[in-house]
Structure 1
Amino acid sequence: MNDSRQRSHQPTKTSSTSTYILGGVAAVVLVALVVGGLVWNAHRHRGGVSEQVLAQNASLVVGRQDAPLTIDVFEDFQCPVCKQFEAKSGQAISDAVDAGKIRVRYHILTFLDSHSGSGDYSSRAAGAALCVAELEPQETWRRYHSVLYERQPAENGKDFSNDQLADIAGEVGAGEPTKECIRSQSKIGQAKEFAKQSTEQLAKAQGGRAGTPSVLVAGRDIAGLTDGTGWLDKLIASSSTTG
């Protein structure tokens, strides 16, 4: 593979959106790109976002089923801007969930594996989070999610081993079965498949590109995520008015 093609496959930070962008597909050219182990094809980015696919491929859903507003949050545990997003909006999201104002479907993506020291941290962290999601109460997952961002490894630096990911889960209240699930990474394949399906839906909403952090509401891409909690305040206010 030549150097220019290799660079074209790398996620790049954009000043206009402050997100990490994965790939890109020209609207009139059918191009297959292999990025982070995912095969991208322009056909997959056509059509609208599927509510059913998003619902089926969320790593975790929190909040009341009858909440007036459902949002889809897309993140990657190796994404520095996602850490900023969590720091600025994480508590506000949790408060809104607890107040019954929103329901959140979290989609943990894995395209930044190549930006981790181990070469697979995004996927391993996503698999660990799925173990917690499936075996522990929602509150334990929410704590684990927050701590993984608080302790986020530097890009291309030393990251957490499976044992360390399991130990962190234990710190936030996870039991031994969950820790063993993380150590063995028994959920990593499922986490990657969820990430693949979710990334394809996000790309449809973002014109063929998928970036983290991102939020979709009814398939619509929400702007201003790194500016504070104003984006969430507006959504909640709008849902209250229309409800």
Structure 2
Amino acid sequence: MSGSSRSEKKRRQDDRQRRLAAAGIQVPQKVTATNRTPLIVIAVVLAVVVIVGAVVLYQRSKTTSVDPTYTATAAGAVVTAGSGPTVVDVYEDYLCPLCDRFEQTYGNEVTTALNAKQITVRFHTIAILDKSTTPNGYSTRAADAALCAVPAGIYPKYHKKLFESQPAEGSAGLTDDQLIAFGTELGATGDFAGCVRGTTHDAAITAETNTSAGTPALQTNGQFGTPTVAVKGAKINIGDADWLKNAIAGK
């Protein structure tokens, strides 16, 4: 492997570790040969955790998708969904793989609570991964399309569609034509195509991204990452499967 290839691989590994850390996911550190026994124990524990997590995710993925009936409005790059008493803030980037995992794991539960008017969710449309596509910029383009989906009357289903169709990091991302086609498929009203092609919300997305990333309460060890979820302004642990139930209960 060439020096440049090793350097790029190291950069990507470091970037991945930073993003995992910002999302509150701890990455085990390397140990020396003298610590081989603890390593075996850790490996076994991690294997069990991964298996259990995979089973939970699989069971959730088998659940029939919940049809959203809630309404949504937008102000700047923040989409307010539902009208329940418990307010949940969700910070997400449409290119973020962990955000897709969050949607797969908790999407139905969140939608059910929104439909039942138990919660209000403020979706903060973030673009921190613009440099992770070639050419750069897919995160902002997808975020812009999602915001265009609000006046078009299709935001709940469009939000889900963007994650279901999430492109890989390092790719070119979805084209504007593809983003527009999703809207047509979901019954967008008004000039949805013109809104998407017009980069209507780019400035608002940049402002929201900078504000969110610079808020200490949303950081872990000084870093901001997506997905981030906050209740009453405090970042919560989304690794706790009962986080939404506890939020609704006021715990």
Q: CA offsets per residue over residues 138-166 of structure 1, 9 Å max, x none?
A: xx101111010001001102311112111
Count of paired positions: 193
Q: Which residue of 2 aligns with 1:60?
A: 79
Counterpart for residue 218 of structure 2? 205
Per the alignment, do residues 136 and 18 of structure 1 end up closer, same or farther by CA in structure 2, a change over 3 Å counting?
farther
Pick from 130, 133, 149 the counterpart of residue 147 of structure 2.
Answer: 130
Q: Which has the higher contact order (CA 8 A, sep 6+)?
A: 1
Cα distance in 2, alignment partners of residues 70 and 57 from structure 1: 18
The percent identity for this pair of structures is 33
| Equivalent residue runs for 1:1-243 within 5 Å | 7=11, 10=15, 12-14=18-20, 17-18=24-25, 58-64=77-83, 67-133=84-150, 135-137=151-153, 140-201=154-215, 203-206=216-219, 208-223=222-237, 225-226=238-239, 228=241, 230-238=242-250
Give the AA of the match of 1:60.
V
* Cα displacement string for residues 103-147 of structure 1 (whole angstroms, at most 9, x for unaligned residues): 0000111111111233110011111111112x123xx10111101
- Supply the distance in 2 between the matched residues of 1:91 and 1:174 (Cα, whole angstroms): 22
Is residue 136–residue 174 contact of structure 1 (8 Å, CA) maintained in 2?
yes
Distance 1:70 1:124, change over 3 A: same
Q: Unaligned regions of 5+ residues in structure 1, if any?
A: 20-54
Report if aligned partners of 1:162, 1:185 keep a CA contact under 8 Å in 2: no
> Once the 2 structures are TM-superposed, how far is the Cα of residue 101 of structure 1 from its aligned partner?
0.7
The answer (yes or no) to whether the contact 1:116–1:159 under 8 Å persists in 2 is yes
Distance in 2, Cα, partners of 1:107 & 1:115: 20
User: Equivalents in 2 of 1:97, 1:216: separation in Å?
Assistant: 16
* In structure 1, C-alpha distance between the alignment counterparts of 2:101 and 2:239, rounded to whole Å: 7
Q: Which runs of 5+ in 2 are unaligned?
A: 1-6, 27-73
| Alpha-carbon distance between aligned partners in 1 of 2:200 and 2:75, rounded to the nearest angstrom | 19
Q: Alpha carbon RMSD of aligned pairs, Å?
A: 2.7
Query: Secondary structure of 1:175's match?
Result: coil
